[in-house]
A = this chain, B = another copy of it.
Amino acid sequence: MSFKVTILGSGAALPTAQKNPTSQYIECQNRHILIDCGEGSQMQMRKFGVKLQKISHILISHLHGDHYFGLVGLLSTMHLLGRDKGIHIYGPKELEQIIRLQLEIAGNKIGFSLEFHHIKKNQTGLLFEDKCIEIHTFPLKHKIQTNGFLIKEKEKELTLDSERFYSDKLSIQFIQYFKKGQNVTDENGSTYFYKDYTFKAMPTKSYAFCSDTAYNENIITSIKNSDVLYHEATFTEKELDRAKVTLHSTAKQAATIALKANVGKLLMGHLSARFKNDKQHLIEAKKVFENSFVVDDGDEFII
């Protein structure tokens, strides 16, 4: 379970009794990432057993309130719970101004560093990487600057053929070399070939997050072949005009992007509060892209 998405909030701008505004918690290779943080996200974390102090990176897609009004409260709670480990926050530059202003006026010096990374309007490419994961960004098409995100695993080490390795009674020191695809020559001059002791590496997985956005084929290159794509689907085809005016997408449009980007699975969210259920969204999406789902608060997806 090394790559998992937990939906903390699946709703649109108007929170309902069932759906909190947008927020998702991503565990990827033991990294803990929060994407968006609508009001009440910290309560949702408590409800769904998410350990908020583990979060090291927060990605904010844009500065409409339903995507970040819960951030300052989350940071305050992290402080009150004694956090001292810094946190990295990625978003439009005004986010830093808003958060720092509120913390300053409260008169509390936060006990950990807030490392803000300003994302520019049309920024495309790598935001962060370490030895296990990469986070990329790309522009979406919305009323204000909005950025999508792609979280992907880096190439993994080869998988050890344990049965053969242990039956040949080799030194366990060899494992690290074999996993990296390196042969080993021992003190007697005997060479052991990594190919004899490994299977191919587990495939690398990726998760793309697109919210909020009008239909926009420009994003396809950035999210191509993702294992899972989250794409907003505020409306159904009946409200296509409204989708165009508000720069949101319909379920069919989300599915069309999923199809053209050749992703493995489509998760739809941010359905307008006007819809009593998700039936019509699923009907319209599945006609275009069968592996479509509508997310609910508390849902978990293994990538």
Chain A interface (Cβ < 8 Å from any Cβ of B): 13-17, 20, 39-40, 42-43, 46-47, 63-66, 69-70, 72-73, 76-77, 80-81, 94, 97-98, 101-102, 105-108, 143-144
Do A105 and B101 contact each other (CB < 8 Å), given the known contacts A39-B42, A42-B15, A80-B14? no
Taking a contact as CB atoms under 8 Å apart, the answer to whether A69 and B73 are in contact is yes
Q: Which residues of B contact A77 (CB under 8 A)?
A: 13-15
- The 7 listed contacts between A and B (C-beta, < 8 Å) are A17-B43, A39-B42, A39-B69, A39-B73, A63-B102, A63-B106, A98-B102
Decide: A65 and B73 in contact? CB cutoff 8 A: yes
A300 smallest CB distance to B (angstroms): 19
CA distance A81 to B273 in the complex (A): 11
Give the copy number: 2
* Residue numbers in B under 8 Å from A42 (CB-CB): 15, 39
Q: Is the pair A43, B15 in contact by a Cβ cutoff of 8 Å?
A: yes
Q: Are A72 and B65 in contact (CB under 8 A)?
A: yes
CB atoms of A17 and B47 under 8 A apart: yes
Residues of B near A16 (CB, < 8 A) are 46
A105 x B47 contact (CB < 8 A): no
Partner pick for A106 among B64, B105, B108, CB 8 A cutoff = B64
Contacts of A76 in B (CB 8 A): 13, 65-66, 69
- With both beta carbons as reference points, the residue of chain B lying nearest to A102 in the complex is identified as B98
Q: What CA separation (Å) do A105 and B39 show in the bound complex?
A: 17
Residue in B80, B101, B108 whose beta carbon sits within 8 Å of that of A101 in the complex = B101
In angstroms, Cα B40 to Cα A93, docked, is 25
Contacts of A14 in B (CB 8 A): 77, 80-81
Min CB gap A21→B, angstroms = 8
A98 and B105 contact, Cβ closer than 8 Å, known pairs A39-B70, A76-B13: yes
Given contacts A13-B76, A40-B40, A63-B106, 6 further A-B contacts (CB under 8 A): A64-B106, A69-B76, A94-B105, A97-B101, A98-B101, A107-B144
Q: Given A39-B73, A40-B39, A107-B144, A65 and B102 touching (CB < 8 A)?
A: yes
- Of the listed residues A42, A64, A105, A107, the one surrounded by the most CB atoms of chain B closer than 10 A to its CB is A105
Q: How far is the CA of A97 from the CA of B65 in the complex (A)?
A: 16
Q: How far is the CB of A20 from chain B (nearest CB, A)?
A: 8
B47 engages A106 (CB within 8 Å): no
Q: Which residues of B contact A65 (CB under 8 A)?
A: 72-73, 76, 102, 106
Question: What residues of B have a CB within 8 angstroms of the CB of A43 in the complex?
Answer: 15, 17, 20, 39-40
